[in-house]
Amino acid sequence: VKPEQRFESTITISGEDFKHIAKVLRLGKGDVIEVCDGQGTDYLVTLNTPGEQTISGSIARHYPSQGETPEMSVTLFQGLPKGAKMEVIIQKAVELGVYQIIPFSSCRAVSQIKDKQDKKLERWQRIAYEAAKQSKRGIIPRILWPLTFKEVLSEVARYDLMILAYEDENRQTLKGALEAVRKISKTDKPLSIGVIVGPEGGFDPQEAAACQAAGVISVTLGKRILRTETAGMVVLSQLNFWKEE
Ligand code: SAM
């Protein structure tokens, strides 16, 4: 199948997006909008007259979403923080281009998700959706069900590079770890990078040692101790400016 044959020539929009387009923005026949399929493709669409519940349009062209970084995907493993901090972390990480977020519980995490009926995950995914829309992402990053720290370690082999932001590390810098990424990046596959950030209480030394044994590279983010909600953002923003020289 040639790439262009994979795409339909018309599109129908319903639900909240329909209401926003037709009732709030009052767009209609002949107006052109940009639509994203949430899977990395954007479409330029010329709208038809709105119906009662839906609006359709014809696709003028499609192109890879500008809001994505195809050469790398970054997964944030976030130690479960207290209260509503996870919501801020999700919002900011999505703006900064995270591919997915996997919360985890660890020795010093105060907060835990108690059972699978918890509405939190649904709410977190909604926040990711809103942030993706706002920041013109081409995908909606997934927020996965929290793992245990042991399960995080079993994920290491799936990544080209797994970084542990470790408050007690004082030698290896993020820049140094990125040099390692540079070496791996000689392949033309997109790089998958995992970033592990601890909860408010940080990591137990045994957890840090277990990470090291599993092949995770621990890095310092500088002399100052950052809040858990700041640490992941520092890594994500530095990765955003990483370029192969
Ligand atoms: N008590 C503060 C709070 O309430 O957020 C600071 C928490 S800090 C221990 C939480 C996590 O942020 C750490 O486990 C680590 O992953 C990351 N972090 C913070 N400052 C860091 C630094 N200077 N270098 C490396 N990682 C750091």
State which of 217, 226, 235 you would mutate to test the pocket of ligand 1, scoring each by most atoms of that ligand within 8 A of its C-beta.
226
**Cα(201) to centroid of ligand 1, in Å?**
8
Cα of 240 from ligand 1 centre, angstroms: 20
For 203-216, what is each residue's pLDDT tens digit?
999 999 999 999 99
Kindly list the distances between the CA atom of residue 177 and the CA atoms of 27, 41, 93, 217, 222, in Å, as whole numbers in the listed order.
48, 31, 20, 7, 14
This complex has an ipTM of 0.97
| pLDDT the model gives residue 179 | 80
Per-residue pLDDT, 188: 67
Instruction: Supply 231's token pair.
Output: 């640490």
Q: Is the CB of 45 under 6 A from ligand 1?
A: no
| Percent of the chain whose pLDDT exceeds 70 | 90
Confidence class for position 187, pLDDT limits 50, 70, 90:
low
In this prediction, residue 47 has a pLDDT band, given cuts at 50, 70 and 90, of very high
- Residue-wise pLDDT for 126-142, tens only, equals 999 999 999 999 999 99
Helix (H) or strand (E) holding 192: strand 191-197
Under the banding of pLDDT at 50, 70 and 90, the label for residue 2 is very low
pTM metric for this prediction: 0.88
